[in-house]
Amino acid sequence: MKFEKNSVIGIALLAILFIAYFYFTRQGQLELEAKQKQIRDSIAAIQPVIKDTVAAVEAMTDTAALVGTPGGFIQQGNIAASTSVLENDLVKITFSNQGGRPTAVALKQYKSIDSSNVQLVSAGFNKLSYLINTGINQTSSSGDLYFSPSQITTDADGTSTLSFTLSDSSGKSIEHRYRLKKGQYMFEWNLGVKGADRLFTNNTINMLWQVQADQQERDIQTEKRETQLGLYGQSGFDYFTMSDGLGKNWDDGLKWLGVKQKFFNTTIIAENGFSYVDINCKVPDDSLKIVAQTTANLRTTFPASTAVNLGYRFYVGPNDFAILKQYKMDMEDMVNLGQGFYAFVKYINRWIVLPVFGLFEKYVESLGLAILLLTLFIRLMTSPLVYTSYVSGAKMKALRPELDVLKEKLKDDQQAYSMEQMKLFRTAGVNPLGGCIPALLQIPIFFALYSFFNSNITLRGVPFWWSKDLSSYDAVFSWDFSIPGLGSHLSLFTVLAVVTSLLISLYSMSMTPDQNNPVMKYMPYIFPIMLLGIFNGLPSALTWYYTVSNVITLLLQFVIQNYIIDHDKILAEIQSNKKKPREKSKWQERLEQMQATQKKVSDMQQKVKKK
């Protein structure tokens, strides 16, 4: 085989290039490996030095934490982080000597969603501290300083006392003294200071109070919706629904400030009030199982003095109306028995529902049965209104034959039919709204009970029939996706409430004249279906009440219409009323004038169309 000269030269050059490439690449790799080995040897040589330096730094840090604090506050001996516990039959409060503050509060009578005791204060975000002057142009946070704890003492009445102290060689000192009484959720905090004129600037304590409200209920969205900021200022009690980015400040003084969840609250009270308050709130994502985080800057001013004693109190416990009311500071207003537009219903709850339900609760073992008895009581109280409504319905039923004749005669003229219908009602002495007015008067009762069952902590965790918790929905069926308007579960009590509402609507339709308006004709079917979406996420106590109330309504309708109301007498009364001259009321005159005007406009429109 013959090769051309150029081909031979080309192949030779390529071979030389490949050999050169591999040679120089290998040389570079050898140099790189040599440098890497040199670096590893250097690191290995200085590693003991680094280890010793880190150990020395850690030792210095530990010594600073254990032996001394910033400024002139030098503690005697080695003080390490430690905890102390005050507890009674209701709460267990854990304190840390770092800052001399409470770091955990557990409620012994209530369980969280994980079956452990409800924990309202826990380590992490929750803080309580204030700034003190620890040297020239030097300030420190009390939360960074280590206090010396005392032994816990218990008085004959069961009151436990715990103190934390911090002092220096010049005579300045700070004491945190906590007292917890037997059978109380509220505990006292007395802040005693010697050398206050040097420790605080302008006779002012600037306090940082951070509260994290963790998820305590099954439905975190409902819990977030009902979490509020409660406070008592110059104008009395006020509240704000917790929202992300909420910021508020007050410079006219507050008596107390609290973070209120659905069934629990954490509140700080200043005996002499806070002179200035600034609050910022954050609502984290549901997946974090945190309802809200609140950061408050609280300012307390005191008279110029070298020694001061400031009194504070903390309430960390349930939103129980009776418990909060005993403190006589309007803290019971944090229990939502009626707020906003429906604030007036709180008086129905306070004066009627709460005492009556409390009586049934005292003597009846089952709270489900107590709700049934409450329903019977309310229906008995409203029975005169219900009877009036049924009598009006019976009169409307008696007029149905005449209304059917009018409808057949004027079927092509709806406005004329409406006018003749109103005339027939007037001459017969029948009020077409007679059945609606009693129902409207019962709306405040419904909203009162809506607030009552949503805020009553007595129902929390109490089972009844298939419901595991009367304060939450009874999810007999659940799924992993969300249906618009329904959610990811189905409540059986809600289904029963919807079915009984539909039966009431069907019965009422049989008692009233036929409706030509399609909307009004199908409303009895639409409304119960709407209830399915509205009620499905409500407490099973409320849907159980509504179901019982509907069953009572059905029974009353049947009994009153068939055994109490004399239909022949009503018919005779209607015929007698027709013979009597009747004056039109101003409302009837305005209504007839409006109908006449509408008819004229309609007739003119019809003439224009024909032309």
Tell me the pLDDT band of 581, cut-offs 50, 70 and 90: low
Q: What is the pLDDT of residue 528?
A: 76
321-338 pLDDT tens trace: 999 999 999 999 999 998
pLDDT in tens, 229-249: 999 998 899 999 888 888 888
Q: Looking at residue 434, what DSSP letter applies?
A: T
Position 578 scores a pLDDT of: 57
Q: 112 and 174, same structural domain?
A: yes
Q: Are 261 and 214 in contact (CB under 8 A)?
A: no
Amino acid at 476: V
Q: Which two tokens stand for residue 435?
A: 């059945």
Q: Higher-confidence residue: 143 or 520?
A: 143
Residues 279 and 365 in one domain: no
Q: Please report where in the chains the tokens 């003991």 appear, as a residue.
A: 48
Q: Is 69 inside any structural domain? A: no
Taking residues 392-414, report their average pLDDT. Answer: 67
- Which secondary structure element, helix H or strand E, spans residue 23, and what is its range? helix 5-67
Distance CA 352, CA 291 (A): 32
**Residue 127 and residue 248 in one domain:** yes
For residues 157 and 82, the answer to whether their CB atoms sit within 8 Å is: no
Largest Cα–Cα separation, the chain:
137
Better pLDDT: 193 or 396: 193
424 and 313, same structural domain?
no
What CA–CA distance (Å, rounded) separates 467 from 489?
13
Please give the single-letter amino acid code of residue 27: Q
Question: With bands split at pLDDT 50, 70 and 90, how would you rate the model's confidence at 586?
Answer: low
Residue 41 located in a structural domain: no
Domain co-membership, 555 together with 590: no
Domain presence at residue 4: no
The tokens describing 46, both together, are 């200085």
Domain match, 301 and 441 both: no
Q: Which of 149-153, 273-277, 416-420, 441-445 has the lowest mean pLDDT?
A: 416-420
| Amino acid, single-letter form, for residue 238 | D
Copy the structure tokens of residue 47: 């590693």
Q: How confident is the model at residue 41 (pLDDT cuts 50, 70, 90)?
A: low
Average pLDDT over residues 218-223: 88
- Output 488 or 37, whichever has higher pLDDT: 488
Q: For 501, how many CA atoms within 13 A lie in the half-sphere containing its CB?
A: 22
CATH of the domain at 280: 2.70.98.90
Question: DSSP class of residue 599?
Answer: H
Could you tell me if 183 and 215 lie in one domain? yes
**In the predicted model, is pLDDT for residue 570 greater than 50?**
yes
Q: What is the pLDDT of residue 565?
A: 63
Q: pLDDT confidence of 109, banded at 50, 70, 90?
A: very high
pLDDT at residue 315, as a whole number: 96
Q: How many independent structural domains does the chain possess?
A: 3
* Distance separating the N- and C-terminal Cα atoms of the chain: 109
* 553-564 residue pLDDT tens: 888 877 777 776
| DSSP one-letter code for 469 | -
Residue-wise DSSP of 97-115: TBTTEEEEEEEEEEE-TTS
Does 50 score more than 60 pLDDT? no
598 within some domain: yes
Nearest to 200 by CA among 177, 178, 174: 174
Instruction: Please tell me whether residues 407 and 480 are part of one structural domain.
Output: yes
Mark whether 177 and 88 lie in a shared domain. Answer: yes
Q: Specify the higher pLDDT residue, 420 or 368.
A: 368
Tell me if 166 sits within 8 A of 97, measured CB to CB.
Answer: no
Residue that the structure tokens 């005159």 belong to: 589
Contact 164, 140 (CB under 8 A): no
Question: Is residue 267 assigned to a domain?
Answer: yes
Q: Are 466 and 474 in contact (CB under 8 A)?
A: yes
Q: Tell me the two tokens of residue 511.
A: 């008692």
Query: Which pLDDT band holds residue 69 (cuts at 50, 70, 90)?
Result: very low
Is residue 401 assigned to a domain? yes
The two structure tokens encoding residue 552: 């009572």
Q: Name which residue leads in pLDDT, 350 or 514.
A: 350
In which band, very low, low, confident or very high, does the pLDDT at 2 lie, cut at 50, 70 and 90?
Answer: very low
Distance of CA 288 to the CA centre of its chain: 17
Please choose, from the candidates 307, 279, 107, 325, the residue with its C-alpha nearest in 3D space to the C-alpha of residue 190.
307
In the three-class reduction of DSSP (H, G, I as helix; E, B as strand; rest coil), residue 485 is classed as coil
Question: Is residue 487 located within the same domain as residue 609?
Answer: no
- Per-chain mean pLDDT for the chain: 79
What does the buried/exposed string (b/e) look like for 301-332 if buried means 16 or more CB atoms within 10 Å of the residue's CB? bbeeeeebebebbbbbbbbbbebbeebebebb
122 plus 164 within the same structural domain: yes
Sort residue 119 into left (φ over 0), alpha (ψ -120 to 50) or beta: beta
196 is a domain residue: yes
Of 335, 359, 375, the residue at which a domain comes to its end is 335
Which one of 335, 364, 379 terminates a domain?
A: 335
Q: Are 18 and 24 in contact (CB under 8 A)?
A: no
Among 63-67, 119-123, 244-248, 312-316, the least confident range: 63-67
The confidence band for 219, taking pLDDT boundaries of 50, 70 and 90, is confident
Q: Please tell me whether residues 486 and 388 are part of one structural domain.
A: yes
Give the Cα separation of 268 and 187 in Å (integer). 10
Long-range contacts of 196-199 (CB under 8 A, 24+ apart): 196/302, 196/305, 196/306, 196/307, 196/308, 197/304, 197/305, 197/306, 198/133, 198/172, 199/132, 199/133, 199/172, 199/174
Residue 28, domain member (yes or no):
no
Q: How confident is the model at residue 138 (pLDDT cuts 50, 70, 90)?
A: confident
Does position 579 have pLDDT exceeding 60, yes or no?
A: no
User: What does the alpha-carbon distance between residue 94 and residue 121 come to, in Å, rounded to a whole number?
Assistant: 9
Point out the domain boundary residue: 306, 335, 364.
335
Residue 296 has pLDDT above 90, yes or no: yes
**146-161 average pLDDT score:** 92
pLDDT over 60 (residue 311) = yes
Tell me which of 374 and 33 has the higher pLDDT: 374
Q: Domain of residue 604: give its range.
A: 581-611
Q: Is the pLDDT of residue 87 over 70?
A: yes
